[in-house]
Structure 1
Amino acid sequence: MLQVLAEAAASCLIEHTVQSAILGVASGRSTSRVSRLILSRPRCTLVRIADVARSTSLPDNPTETVRRMAQIASGPSWRLFAPIVLSSREAAETLRREPGIATAHAFFPRLTRVLMTTAPWEPGESMIHDSIPAEDQAMVAAFHTAADVPANVIDDGVGRLRPTLPPGPCRSHSRSCARCPA
């Protein structure tokens, strides 16, 4: 099933990406599968829209996935060489000021296509889940989390997207949580 979905996503991306497009890519296992199926694409700008989470194997390595897609796009690419999970809000703010990361973020409002990834909120499935401390995993799981979509979590009841982690001490989320000021 995953292969069929990856083939459909790759086909759609090839068919609907035009020259001069600005393609946003969220790294993950699904994106990695799709990237291996794209053999050509019109010249476009590629922007990574989510930072790096832990990867378990070279084929799923976020940096390798984006490098492969940028090479195929043969246009400019903007990468976020930073972890998606950080130890403090201050660390996130410092990284946002780094020129390469700031430039990538400046492209976000102009994205014309986005390749997203999602994963069930389970050990070995979600790179976000596996990147945070056990106590944070438990805190997020307590809200009946079913999946993550680039560091956002979806609950299993109504599928509501939670844009930030639930209330609690912010030890590892790179964006503001309910206790951190914006």
Structure 2
Amino acid sequence: MFSGIVQAVGKIASLQARGGDVRLVVDAQGLGVDGVAPGDSIAVAGVCLTVVGIDATRLAFDVSNETLSRTSLGTLDPGSGVNLEKALRLADRLDGHLVSGHVDGIGRVLAIEPDARSQRWTFEVPVELAKYIAGKGSVCIDGTSLTVNETEGARFGVNLIPHTVAVTTFKDRRVGDAVNIEVDLIARYVERLLRG
């Protein structure tokens, strides 16, 4: 589990084809690899990945075809920035919201507009995900816990304060960019329970 509070921005060092899927290597110097061991979970652009190797400041992850098909990881190039977060420990503060790192789908940036010192961002998600996103609810975008301002069909808006833009990959995002979307996990379970 994660909180959606980004701890560092890493850089894609390489994406290597291996046996039909991919080995992803991330330079995680800002995150630090002290205390990280093979088998640990790290959220990379909001995607929960298992560490399979450590070399100085770099972390290696094996990425399955399922993960590549549901996230933007396979579209990233070496040098691309990715938000990073180590998994929560039971004693950690929960400053964002409960995030599993199990991305539900890919959304798109539709608009970025100034709003006083903040920025107002509009995103579009696949229609089947829209029902899980509610005004004043939580959503995780590229591993960042955000509060939803409003929704309209498959579109929703959020405000990003200057700090959030500065310490995440949002500073590099542009209109049209793909983003990883994880809806609030409570909404998914409520729907399942109601269906019986």
Q: TM-score range by the shorter chain?
A: under 0.3
Q: Return the TM-score normalized by structure 2.
A: 0.26
Higher strand share: 2
Q: Return the TM-score normalized by structure 1.
A: 0.28
Structure with more contact order per residue of length (Cα contacts < 8 Å, sep ≥ 6): 2
